[in-house]
Amino acid sequence: MTEETLAKAYDFKSTEQRLYKFWDENGYFKSSNDPRGAQFDPTKKPFVISIPPPNVTGELHTGHAMFVSMEDLMIRYHRMKGIPTLWVPGTDHAGIATQMLVERMLAKEGIKRDELGREGFLERTWEWKEKYGSRITHQIRRLGASCDWTKERFTMDEGLSTAVREAFVRLYEKGLIYRGPRMINWSPSLRTAVSDLEVEYSEEPGFLYYFKYMLADLPGEYIAVATTRPETILGDTALAVHPEDERYQKYLGKDVIVPILGRRIPVIADEYVDREFGTGAVKITPAHDPNDYTIGLNHNLEMINILNEDATINENGAQYAGMDRFDCRKKLWDDMKAAGLVIKEQPYTLNVPRSQRGGEIVEPMISTQWFVKIQPLADKALAAVKEGRTKIVPERFTKVYYNWLENIRDWCISRQLWWGHRIPVWYCDDCGALTVVREDPTECSQCHSKNIRQDEDVLDTWFSSGLWPFSTLGWPEETPEYKYFYPTATMETGADILFFWVARMMMFGLEFTGKEPFDTIYLHGLILDEKGQKMSKTKGNVVDPLIVMDDYGTDALRFTLLVGSTPGNDTNLSLKKVEANRNFANKVWNAGRFVISALEKAPQSAQADPQWTLADSWIWARLNALMADTERLFENYQYGEAGRQIYDFFWGDFADWYVEIAKTQLTAGGDRAFYTANTLLRVMDASLRMLHPFTPFVTEELWQALKNTAQKAGFKPFYQTSEWEPALIVAKWPEAGETEGWEEEKIAQFAAIQDVIRANRNLRAEKKIQPNVKTPGKIVSQDNCDLFKQEKATIADLGKFEIDNLEILKDLTEAPEGWTSTVSSGSAIYIPVPESAEDKKRLESEMAVVQSQIERLEKLLSSDFANKAPAPVVEKERAKLAEFKESYEKLKTQLG
Ligand SMILES: [Zn+2]
């Protein structure tokens, strides 16, 4: 491809799909070191990421776009470093989410899941999965994800199901899994337990209901009590007061009567009761409140469950049996009013527990469930981070991780759903024994009866995703992949699932494999809208990444997300930024086209050794510094900052300055043109390599064109030591060379040239001189006179001076009549435009600024600073002072 055939503007629409196919078909997404291959080298340490498996029901959102972009950046970077990389993709079966979705779909057909039965329902769910399950992974491909799709997994595929079974049986055999009644969160419409993490608390208006608990044996006397959920009165088994509360001393040990039901329950003392809250007396419903549950256990109280699975009242509610929980609340309160037991209702803000999935109010209930005894697992996961075997980035999340694991409760792993890994426990109807085995049994392990039935429940989704980093590689089999690629390297995911998922992988990884599943946990924040607000459908501020990619291209979206991110912090996503980064992709494209045309026109070899211009030396030095900085920033997970610096270099230094100077250097022809083309190629090539992990498509497309042009023209870059690689995705990451000592001086010299040119540009803008008009000029500089003389052509060219009428002087005693002027870094610039009153004002205010700087520096240098600060720092300040003094003299001359 040449400049002529390379489109004028970058067309991402025709590029992205074609390149993705090209990478995939050439096997670039696979590890360069295949543990099943003949050339396998087990000594090469691989870089492995397991993708956070999106829900199979998922549709691409900005959160996915963030983690895919970030992980792809890490993978592409390591791949270019020559490290064998593996990024394992896959999806999660997402128990509740999928079951709800299929149930809703069936509802449209007028079918209830109970009518289909378990098997029929699962059949329909698998059908759904086959049809739509790959939608999300295809959307992920659009982001440029270089995952090894031949290793794609699903949390309910055969291998992963075996892993789940193995994990359950091992924990059971170790006594780390048990079944028992515990307080859990119950979701009535889904009719399943949900984890603490899946409950969200929302502040909502409600009431505090005050009523009378009548003393059983003291007619007319009562204890006033308040509750937010009157229906739970039906399950009360005690009334508690603080042991030191004098108001209630006389009632301790006496009984009170449960309203309407007429049951007698005791008045007990417990220090948990807050004397200041409400009336200081608390009704205790151990079966429907987590705190009451604890009190119930301590006082050996009866636990009366009053709810059915669908949150209607059960037989313990006497005449209220069968009523909905909220209807019961109203009816019972009305009945109590009629019975004269009501005191008052007071408006009160409630903290209502709602299911993260369905949004309905969750009921604390006592229910018989399966649990993992978590403490022994949590201890190991804590130690791994405390002892530095796994590092959390950013570090501040380490504390959060400790805190959570130190206060962890046993994990309820059973869910009353159909879609998921069914609990591998069989109950014997004859002897009551439990059979827990790796293969489905046909008889009871104790009495060999055939009368056995499997537990109806399935496992919490996080049970299988907790095994993800190793189950996807073949565990419990010791496959070559498991042996080589495990443990993985970095776990990159949203900070919001540190507990849901990351902590569980740590616990399971250490328990089952004896190894930390990854050495680094890198957390990113949430993606917010441009104003920093959470995206939500109700607010209407949701950004759809698919539409953004359609409108601006994948590279623009990726670059915006990556450059906007710092570890652990939330990122604001604005379409204006995406648009600006689309413009950056175009800038890169245009610069690339210019370099290609230069390669085609320049001589293909040199007659002599290079004679570098200042601009050449400067851009080489700047590029080398950038490569060193980028490397350092990448090593420190500062990907966003690295992206910003590459952007600034490419746009600010290369495109705006060097390319402009190169245009003149190329017209000189001969060796000058050859070495200029070399420099252009070198900077372009290295920039594309560094940008590739951020913006893979535009860089690959351009790089291919660059390489083809160079090869076709027979252009042999003098700096290149190896052949061109087959594709940028597998090209070598550019490495900074050692600095040679001359760099700082060249950078400083070029900066002085830039200062003069910029100052004159500003002056011209103020004087409203048309961009294409050149003017005569005088530049006065004591220190840089020789440099400016040498670089006169560049200054004249970029500064828009008539080269033959540009004078460069050491001194000027009198300002030229009818000229206007400006000052920059100790140099004065004059152009022949009459001075106005405003100019005089401007110069005077500049002089005032310079004057105050001189005073500041003189004070500083006469203080302790001059003795205490390191010599180079002091020297720098002295030089600054000298420069300001020179500026001052120049301004004085100009003002006459
Ligand atoms: Zn049996």
**3-state secondary structure string, 380-411?**
HHHHHHHCCCCEEECCCHHHHHHHHHHCCCCE
Kindly give, in sequence order, each residue whose CB lies less than 8 Å from that of residue 498, ignoring residues fewer than 6 positions away. 397, 400, 401, 404, 521, 523
Beta strand pairing status for 434-435 and 426-428?
antiparallel
Is 264 in contact with 216 (CB distance < 8 Å)? yes
How far, in Å, CA of 51 to CA of 490, rounded? 10
Read out DSSP for 19-35? HHHHHHHTTTTS-SS-T
Residues across the chain: 896
How far, in Å, CA of 665 to CA of 674, rounded? 9
**Residues lining ligand 1 (ion), CB within 5 A?**
428, 430-431, 433, 444, 446-447, 449
Tokens of 541: 């501020």
Task: Name the one residue in this structure whose structure tokens are 């060379």.
Answer: 737
CA of 434 to the centre of ligand 1 (A): 8
Distance of CA 469 to the CA centre of its chain: 19
CA of 443 to the centre of ligand 1 (A): 8
For the beta carbon of residue 525, count every other beta carbon within 10 angstroms: 17
CA of 424 to the centre of ligand 1 (A): 16
CA of 369 to the centre of ligand 1 (A): 21
CA of 437 to the centre of ligand 1 (A): 14
pLDDT of residue 1: 46
Kindly give, in sequence order, each residue whose CB lies less than 8 Å from that of residue 481, ignoring residues fewer than 6 positions away. 35, 36, 151, 473, 474
Is 584 in contact with 541 (CB distance < 8 Å)? no
Task: Please state whether 321 falls in left (phi above 0), alpha (psi between -120 and 50) or beta.
Answer: beta
Kindly give, in sequence order, each residue whose CB lies less than 8 Å from that of residue 3, ignoring residues fewer than 6 positions away. 593, 596, 597, 600, 709
H helices present in 133-222, as ranges: 135-142, 158-173
CA of 441 to the centre of ligand 1 (A): 12
CA of 425 to the centre of ligand 1 (A): 13
CA of 311 to the centre of ligand 1 (A): 34
CA of 180 to the centre of ligand 1 (A): 20
Please compute, for residue 335, the number of CA atoms within 13 A of its CA located in the half-sphere on the CB side. Answer: 16
Cis peptide before 771 (omega within 30 of 0): no
CA of 120 to the centre of ligand 1 (A): 29
CA of 416 to the centre of ligand 1 (A): 24
C-alpha dihedral, 146 to 151 to 154 to 158, nearest 10°: 180
For the beta carbon of residue 88, count every other beta carbon within 10 angstroms: 22
Distance of CA 870 to the CA centre of its chain: 41
CA of 762 to the centre of ligand 1 (A): 92
Give which of 459, 376, 374 is closest to 424, Cα–Cα: 459
**Predicted model pTM:** 0.83
CA of 438 to the centre of ligand 1 (A): 18
pLDDT of residue 718: 65
Distance of CA 319 to the CA centre of its chain: 54
Give which of 127, 7, 147, 132 is closest to 86, Cα–Cα: 147
How far, in Å, CA of 440 to CA of 424, rounded? 8
Residues paired with 204 in a beta bridge:
350
Beta strand pairing status for 775-780 and 827-831?
antiparallel
* pLDDT < 70 stretches in the chain: 1-5, 717-722, 834-835, 896
Beta strand pairing status for 238-241 and 281-284?
antiparallel
CA of 158 to the centre of ligand 1 (A): 29
Phi, psi (rounded to 5 degrees) for 369 = -140, 170
pLDDT of residue 644: 95
Question: Per residue, what are the HEC states of 833-854?
Answer: CCCCHHHHHHHHHHHHHHHHHH
CA of 417 to the centre of ligand 1 (A): 26
C-alpha to C-alpha distances, 227 to 283, 341, 366, 530, 688, nearest whole angstrom: 8, 13, 20, 43, 66
CA of 225 to the centre of ligand 1 (A): 50
CA of 843 to the centre of ligand 1 (A): 100
C-alpha to C-alpha distances, 357 to 34, 195, 618, 792, 896, nearest whole angstrom: 41, 11, 58, 70, 78
Kindly give, in sequence order, each residue whose CB lies less than 8 Å from that of residue 763, ignoring residues fewer than 6 positions away. 820, 821, 822, 829, 831
CA of 453 to the centre of ligand 1 (A): 11
CA of 119 to the centre of ligand 1 (A): 26
CA of 423 to the centre of ligand 1 (A): 18
Is 57 in contact with 98 (CB distance < 8 Å)? yes
CA of 412 to the centre of ligand 1 (A): 26
Decide: residue 797, CB within 10 A, 0-12 exposed, 13-18 middle, 19+ buried: middle
CA of 447 to the centre of ligand 1 (A): 4
How far, in Å, CA of 474 to CA of 472, rounded? 6
Is 696 in contact with 144 (CB distance < 8 Å)? yes
